[in-house]
A and B are shown apart, each in its own frame.
Chain A
Amino acid sequence: MAAALMTALAGATIEPPPDVVAVFVEGDFEIPPLAYYDGRGFRPVHVAYVGEWDVAYWVEANAPVRIPTWSFKKAVIYLPREALNAKTPPDARGGVLRIYLNQTAVELAEAPPGVVATYSYLKPDQTKAPKTKAEWIKRPTRKPLDKDLDRGGEDRQSSSYQISTQSTPVVFPSGAFIYRQYTGWINADDEVCLNILMPDSPDYAPRWNPTVASVGYNATYVWRTVWYVYTSNYSRGVVVGRGVVKAWAVDPATLDKKMLLGQWAIDLRNGYVTYTSSIPLSWPDQFVGVELCFVPYYSGTHVVGANATLGLRKYAIPAAGGAYFLGTAPVDRSQNVGDAVYYYLLNPPVRNLILGPFSLADGYYGEGLSIDMTVYVPWSAPPCPTLTVTTYLGEFGHIHLDSASFSASSYGNGACIYEVQRSATLSPDAVGLWYDEARARDKAVVMRVSFSHPVSEVKIYRVDVSGRRFAENYIDKNVDRWLLLVLRGFFSQTLRACTAASLPQVNYTALINVATYSLASGIVADFLAVESPSDYGIKGVWFRGKPAKTYAWPVVVYAKGDKFEELRALRVNVYIKWDKSVEGGEYGGFRWLPINVWRDIFEEPWWMTWAFKLSQVLKAVLDFFGLMSGPVGWFIDRVFDLRDLLYPAMTMTITTEYVDVYWRSGIYDKFYQVAFETGGSTRDRAIEIVDVRVGTDSAHLCMRSPITSPMPAVDPNAFFDLQYLRHWVFGMRVTDGVPFADR
């Protein structure tokens, strides 16, 4: 029988290893991950889902095309020979699939939690395995892993801690990491850990090559790893090594590995892609990093690629109230005539909001991406502008997929309201399994929301982007590639309290929107705008411009006194430090000019000004004209320090690599919107937001996870609309007081 089977398998596109029997099974139910019972425990079997041809319409080519889809009811199951005759214990939970092979039968159970089952996909014409009779003697309770990855998987995971205050769907992109492909000789049993794929530019990438992807605190599980290994020494399908998924406790600041929390090994077969799913990351109080390593069983030259996609814990954001502010805080245009320049600088007319890029989690034909949102646009009177959703595809967003226009569904309370429902199907030529950066870019989808007239503000309530979505960590950091704009979806991170020692604790929730954008018309400038939509004022912003040479202009700070106060240029006390290596040399002539000091602009009562002026004179006399500041001079200095606290201050540290800017507000200030203008450049550069600190009288909350926002070179000849380049919207949640694990 075995010989007959092997003969039948000889023509199969993918050959199973010699100690494995491949059978083709088709049934009424979707096939979940499977395992067999070997008398001691459950061992996983590999399932390759078999697709069917479907016809789709390819918009770009204006032609119908054949694309494979998967029903998950057909699969080739690879049974190890030792699994033949396996019986499932009667107390096994979930479905049981009985497969009849001539005179024998194999019972497979749904893989219980903890058993890491692997699976892959086959196109319809790749299957040559013999069809066998199979029946579900117990109905499966789970869907195939792949089917519930997008929504069901997270919903199921999160339902127990999703709190009821969340009234609207919240988009939480799952994080994903691509690991750099490794090609080279590896000795048997040597371990090669793959490097994280970093940005192209040496200006932005760290000098070292980390192998640990920084996941953070709030990932719930690695919901997918995808592996590809190929060596020419062995035929396809042979198990040539194992992939090891390692979860580390890492130091959040340095990403150094501290402790191995867990690891899972899976067999990798030569020449095709293997998936794993649902590896739990059950250490909510640890800052987790994920490392993917490959250990070959035989020495030889191997090509290894892998990526990992994460499921993230879902939290409601009460402060956001389900609203997504794409744009800055409400501004009444009529009140800002005098400050029109600043108004436009900080609130550029919104013509384009770019959502995405969204990318496929892995190769999947004909994947759909749909957007369902309610958009509010403040508008003085009807008629409302037309809203258009355009979908682009590809590495440069250069493939126009389709577009649809929407008229406002209603007008009320000074706003045009749009109900936008749109889906896009991905181009069927952007297919295949990606395990490298190029393929991921191929499949990125960008949706642009544009208006027939410039609008000053857009609020998007109730966004639901579905499909296979993730906000990939590095995909859009290749700034020389992405010239189209990236306004990413809403991000949420659970961050640390300000005291470094404590773990993320939650009692307060604050949301911060951080946006960076460039301006190329009229003036060339980069902007970093920070907005606090809650009652937490902005107390400090710390950012860096990289590389330092591209930032040779002054920093101008703008602030709003409160949520509706007119925007004003804010002058601050400036302290500048120069790294010694910056002076002279190739940086000769390099300037970073601070703006004026504050004393001429902040209003003080005359008696206070004169009191401090007198004491300044007294200090000068006491210190012998400032030459030798003694203990009394020290005392006066501290009094001046207290006075300085009333006003914002900024320190700039200039090194050869970056310009570091730390701004703090005055101690009594209540700024809800602060923006920084730096000189733009025609060179690619990045703004790294190191920390944003918000606070009330009683508490300060910190964002201590740096985010890097690439600032692509701006093309002054580009269309006007594209010159307002807005790169990021970042939602920050900081919590303090309540352990977040059980929320």
Chain B
Amino acid sequence: MASRLRIGDSVVVNMRAGFSLSFLFLVLSPIVFSFPYFVYGVFVGLDLWWGFRSWVGLMGSGHYMFLLLQVAYYACRLPLVYVAAGGVVFLLFFLSMTAPGLVVLALVGFFVAVALALLFGVRSGVFRYSWLVAAVWIFLWNIVGGLLSIPARLVFGAGEMWLWWEQPPAHPAHALAVGAAGAAATLILGRSKTLTKRICQAAPPRHL
């Protein structure tokens, strides 16, 4: 069966291999999640003000990509159009730090990020084409991720003042642990057939 690859199509899908691309998405996701926290100093060191704003954008889009990768694990593909939508999230977060009143854009960015990730899940059939299932999934996923990340929370604590010119708002290792907990939660919830439909096992992607 020949097919043309277009922008927006899935990239290679191969679930028969032991270490699938889908699983790679999951493994990579904590790294994508925590990467901005590790490179905070580089950005702020580059330029205190613009570097910081760029970092805020990177953090927001990093969180979005993390969510996207969880759904991509179920969907077994990562459409470029959703990856590109990360640019919008980046821009919203970036702009949120350009004037005092604009910080609300970070909140908009958050909702956009969550909505886009779930939209991907709904449209690719992961959540059985239902927003209700998507909402239940993200609620449960956050709870399970929270449970799994309790040890990290105990180690790193919370509620510190953010000295933004010298350190990220959270410890990078803490971010990594939370990212890993999120990935593990994805793995656990993926076993529930009522919540998620593992389409790369059950059926070929829609457009194929």
Residue ranges of A at the interface with B (Cβ–Cβ < 8 Å): 498-499, 539-540, 573, 575, 605, 607-608, 611-612, 615, 621-624, 627-639, 641-646, 649-651, 662, 664, 667-668, 693, 695, 697-700
Contacts and interface: CB of A to CB of B under 8 A. Distances in A.
A51 B66 CA distance: 84
A698 B60 CA distance: 23
Say which size band chain B's interface belongs to.
Answer: 35 or more
Given A612-B107, A642-B96, A651-B160, A539 B169 contact: no
Contacts, number: 133
Nearest to A639: B106
B97 interface: yes
Interface in B128-144: 138-139, 141-144
Nearest to B138: A632
A127 B181 CA distance: 87
Given A631-B66, A695-B48, A646 B165 contact: no
Contacts of B11: none
A664 B161 contact: yes
Nearest to B179: A631
Contact of B107 (A611, A630, A634, A650): A611
Interface string B115-155: 00000000000000000000000110111111101100100
Contact of B165 (A539, A631, A633, A642): A539
Interface string B152-166: 010000111111111
Nearest to A622: B142
Interface of B: 33, 45, 47-49, 56, 59-60, 63, 66-67, 96-97, 99-101, 103-104, 106-107, 109-110, 113-114, 138-139, 141-147, 149-150, 153, 158-166, 169-170, 175, 178-179, 181-182, 185
A649 B104 contact: no
B48 A611 contact: no
Given A575-B159, A632-B145, 4 more contacts: A622-B142, A638-B63, A642-B103, A695-B165
Q: Kindly name the residue among A608, A637, A641, A651 whose own CB sees the greatest number of chain B CB atoms within 10 A.
A: A641
Contacts of B63: 634-635, 638
A704 B165 CA distance: 15
Contacts of B141: 630-632
Contacts of B146: 623-624, 627-631, 633
A635 B106 contact: no
A499 B178 contact: no
A622 B182 CA distance: 14
Q: Sort A-B residue pairs by CB-CB distance and give the 4 closest, nearest first.
A: A628-B146, A630-B146, A630-B142, A630-B145
Contacts of A641: 162, 169
B103 to A, nearest CB: 5
A645 B164 contact: yes
Contacts of A645: 97, 103, 162, 164
Contacts of A498: 165-166
A608 B101 contact: yes
Contacts of B170: 634, 637-638
Contacts of A643: 103, 106
Given A611-B104, A623-B146, A662-B161, A631 B181 contact: yes
16 contacts: A498-B166, A499-B45, A540-B163, A575-B161, A623-B143, A628-B142, A630-B147, A631-B33, A631-B141, A636-B110, A637-B170, A639-B106, A639-B109, A662-B163, A668-B99, A698-B48
A463 to B, nearest CB: 35
B164 A700 contact: no
A182 to B, nearest CB: 43
Contacts of B96: 642
B161 A630 contact: no
A573 B160 CA distance: 10
Q: Kindly name the residue among A608, A635, A698 whose own CB sees the greatest number of chain B CB atoms within 10 A.
A: A635
Contact of A628 (B48, B143, B164, B165): B143
Q: Kindly name the residue among B45, B56, B107, B182 whose own CB sees the greatest number of chain A CB atoms within 10 A.
A: B107
Contacts of A664: 161, 163
Contacts of B106: 639, 642-643
